[in-house]
């Protein structure tokens, strides 16, 4: 298992204002409160992880952001977001707000040549793999799209309660993130591991979700995940 941790896999968290509540901007504020700036040149190469806040890094999409903020509603830009990833990722885990959006985005990603990926929509409305019930998944593999459903049991978990996943303001969410990175167990850790497992499968680092869960568990409990976030903080503070 430790050999997997030594194998480099570069991850980009690319996000924009994907929901009426502007969840991605909230994620950005959480990172900022945790002393993370947005993406810096060389971050992926040196640290192996990067956070791409679309209005800051995308030369075309960033011009639409002020209008989207004023509209305070979903527009077709929410569908364009995962399709215009400036990193040119060959593997992707993308969350969507509806079944129809999943159909459109997965088909487009497959046509654009995505090698492997998952487009997901939780039955509770989450734009990620949920642990409260089933998740609708569009699995992309070399130009084909397969529709399937994932359950918490597929990750060896019992269903969680929605209230167990509830966050709060940026300060609250930073506290939650630090607790998860510090090894705290519970539903918040579980949903992190579930989505990390799917990302590892998409990236071809593991063959099954359970393998991905095991790798994620080791990463957290060994302190490797927290050290990586600290490296990201140090890099973004050093490179302007």
Q: Enter the DSSP assignment of 36.
A: -
Residue found under tokens 């990833």: 85
Vertex 143, ends 138 and 149: CA angle to 5°? 15
**130-166, pLDDT tens digit by residue?**
999 999 999 999 999 999 999 999 999 999 999 999 9
**In this predicted structure, what is the pLDDT of residue 171?**
82
Residue found under tokens 């570069």: 10
**35-62, pLDDT tens digit by residue?**
455 556 678 888 888 877 766 767 666 6
**In this predicted structure, what is the pLDDT of residue 135?**
98
Most confident range, picked from 12-26, 27-41, 47-61, 209-223 = 209-223
**169-212, pLDDT tens digit by residue?**
878 888 899 999 999 999 999 999 999 999 999 999 999 999 99
pTM for the model:
0.82
Sign, Cα dihedral of 193, 80, 78, 146 = negative
Residue pair 88/78 in contact by the 8 Å Cβ criterion: no
Q: Enter the DSSP assignment of 64.
A: G
Domains annotated on the chain, with CATH: 2-72+90-238 (3.40.1030.10)
């Amino acid at each position: 298992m430790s050999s997997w941790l030594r194998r480099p896999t570069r991850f980009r968290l690319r996000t924009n204002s994907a929901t009426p509540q502007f969840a991605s901007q909230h994620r950005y504020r959480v990172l900022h409160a945790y002393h993370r700036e947005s993406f810096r040149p060389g971050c992926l190469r040196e640290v192996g992880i990067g956070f791409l806040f679309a209005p800051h890094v995308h030369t075309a999409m960033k011009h639409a952001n002020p209008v989207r903020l004023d509209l305070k509603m979903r527009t077709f830009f929410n569908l364009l977001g995962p399709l215009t990833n400036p990193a040119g990722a060959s593997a992707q885990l993308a969350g969507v707000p509806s079944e129809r959006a999943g159909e459109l985005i997965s088909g487009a990603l497959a046509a654009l040549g995505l090698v492997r990926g998952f487009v997901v929509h939780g039955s509770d409305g989450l734009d990620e793999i949920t642990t409260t019930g089933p998740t609708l998944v569009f699995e992309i593999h070399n130009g084909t799209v397969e529709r399937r459903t994932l359950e918490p049991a597929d990750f060896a978990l019992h269903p969680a309660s929605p209230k167990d996943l509830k966050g709060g303001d940026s300060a609250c969410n930073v506290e939650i993130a630090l607790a998860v990175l510090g090894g705290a167990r519970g539903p918040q850790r579980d949903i992190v591991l579930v989505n990390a497992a799917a990302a590892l499968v998409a990236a071809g680092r593991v063959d099954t979700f359970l393998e991905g869960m095991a790798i994620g568990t080791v990463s957290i409990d060994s302190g490797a995940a927290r050290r990586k976030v600290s490296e990201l903080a140090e890099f973004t503070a050093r490179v302007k």
